[in-house]
Structure 1
């Protein structure tokens, strides 16, 4: 069912009955194929400046949903609106950060941040100043001339975030951007991302497998079902402040939200695992 919204507030992003199917050939390589439903009847509204996190079991269609929002794929049915207009392809109004850093290895950190600005026709002198501004924003001042192989994993991901922010997209799409990092670096970048979000006011849609990460970052956590992916429930996460305490993750409030989301996910994870077993035995 569609989410209820206040009539006077127009959402930044709207998913209206969005479904996505794929054609899958059988394993024997025969011509026979079947239709595979990744997403089914997604209804979701996201307000401007909101930080929304998607969680769900493996294979539930989280990344597919983000691809649709990024314009990298099209829904089989339904539509996605951005500022009231249907999304029909990629655009500079959306920046994407993937789990893989996707930095150009032959460019320096600054050169990577400038890359998107070149495509938009920003003059060279302005590109340089803007790149330095966003490298500073993500804490990479002093590393402008380093190539990706000279940077740690966390630094490379900071560079990818800076590159996505530099051309000033309205919406930042993030597909498990911290999954490959060690725990300490991941928590550090979570704090950095919150700081950047609070400073820039971007609308953020963030995918994760981690419940703790979802609770720590998200104003709203959308819990998805096992395949085909649907929105099972949206959990509002309301802390008095995410920066007022150094021990938010150990607070009773945090534990309560974590338990609520895990309870919603538990059956879905079990269903996804059972489905995997059934498909493996075919």
Structure 2
């Protein structure tokens, strides 16, 4: 198993140090090597918190997380992260942003540039390496962010609602692009979303979280056949979508009434 999450919980202490709240409680989840697993849940269920723990940006207050059998302790180059906001350096070109992720490697400047170009080509942006983030069309900066994370050859790529801020057309286009990249690289991907359609369209499996404190309510195996064209029609897609919705439905009213934090 590539990633194993065992009994993970996370509590946060409020301004009044006598009070705390649990964001996660007893999370158990396995991610298989080379799979694209989507994690879906209502706002505030702890999806982003869980990814922070896996990335090593915070420590769980209970349980443990193992990558290739080794407990995680802090950040590492074995994990790449793509956030909702693409977080590129505005004063660096697309190529230079990717090269920045490679500066810790024992490689020449030319070797880093060649590798950065290779990953720009992979995400369909070949020839645009000299563009600055503000010069890239809508959706392209996220492609650069994905290329930057993949260039370090991570064992696991974490994507935290990376397409949430995009319009519907761009979002669907990037979903198809992500599937193409995943099929070509074989990288293990964990992708969070609030969209049932996105979760089913992308995931080989869909893990469904409860409202806070977040737990894994269930995991839906998805078999839509060939992934070209990101299939969204047909009875099988509808059946998987309904199953994910059934798992989510009991928490929707609770999520709407309760204060949230993610």
TM over 0.5: yes
CA contact 2:224–2:231 (8 Å) conserved in 1: no
State the partner residue of 2:12: 22
State the partner residue of 2:56: 71
State the partner residue of 1:12: 2
State the partner residue of 2:231: 248
State the partner residue of 1:228: 213
Question: Deviation of residue 32 (structure 1)?
Answer: 5.1
Separation in 1, partners of 2:50, 2:219: 16
Alignment of 1:97-246 (within 5 A): 97-243=82-228, 246=229
Task: Tell me which stretches of 4 or more aligned residues in structure 1 moved more than 6 Å.
Answer: none
State the partner residue of 2:41: 56
Question: Deviation of residue 240 (structure 1)?
Answer: 1.8
State the partner residue of 2:259: 276
State the partner residue of 1:3: none
Question: Relative contact order (alpha carbons < 8 A, sep ≥ 6): 1 or 2 greater?
Answer: 2
Question: Deviation of residue 47 (structure 1)?
Answer: 1.0
Question: Deviation of residue 167 (structure 1)?
Answer: 1.1
The DSSP-based 3-state class of the residue aligned with 2:150 is helix
State the partner residue of 1:7: none
Separation in 2, partners of 1:207, 1:119: 28
Cα gap change, 1:105 to 1:167, in 2 (>3 Å): same
Question: Deviation of residue 122 (structure 1)?
Answer: 2.5
How many residue pairs get aligned? The number is 261
Task: Could you tell me which runs of 5 or more consecutive residues in structure 2 were left unpaired when the two chains were aligned.
Answer: none
Q: TM-score normalised to the size of structure 2? A: 0.97
Q: Deviations over 1:205-253 (max 9, x none)?
A: 000011100000000100000010000000011112122xx47211111
Separation in 1, partners of 2:35, 2:200: 14
CA contact 2:176–2:230 (8 Å) conserved in 1: no
Cα gap change, 1:194 to 1:22, in 2 (>3 Å): same
Separation in 2, partners of 1:173, 1:123: 28
Please report the RMSD computed on the Cα atoms of aligned residues, expressed in angstroms.
Answer: 1.4
The DSSP-based 3-state class of the residue aligned with 1:73 is coil
The DSSP-based 3-state class of the residue aligned with 1:248 is coil
Separation in 2, partners of 1:232, 1:252: 24
Q: Which has the larger radius of gyration?
A: 1
Separation in 2, partners of 1:32, 1:138: 46
Separation in 1, partners of 2:3, 2:163: 24
Task: Could you tell me which runs of 5 or more consecutive residues in structure 1 were left unpaired when the two chains were aligned.
Answer: 1-10, 26-30
